[in-house]
Amino acid sequence: MKKLQVTLQLDMTVPDDWELVTTSEGTPVIRMADGQYLDITMEPLFATDPEDLWSSTDDEAALHEVLEMVDSEEVQYTFVTQ
């Protein structure tokens, strides 16, 4: 096996009332205004043709097979003021 490193970085414009909070396990998540929480992470997408429509899978076994390959995951959230 060989290692594949994937870096996820998104720049998003979000409502002013979103806040960063930390779970009891130390994981940063976003508290949204409606009382829900948001965690953004990697979701595998699949296609039978790379030029076709990509989508998530309903095949739990295929999804878990890919996710089991992940050794660690780190997502950082930072609000940028201008």
Give per-residue pLDDT as tens, 16-41: 999 999 999 998 999 999 889 998 88
How crowded is residue 5: how many other Cβ atoms within 10 Å of its Cβ? 4
Q: Which of 49, 48, 76, 51 is nearest to 62 (CA)?
A: 48
| CA separation for the pair 13, 6 (Å, rounded) | 23
Flag whether pLDDT at 57 surpasses 80.
Answer: yes
Please give the model's pTM, rounded to 2 decimal places. 0.66
Residue 64 three-state SS: helix
| CA separation for the pair 28, 14 (Å, rounded) | 16
Kindly state the percentage of the chain with pLDDT values over 70: 99
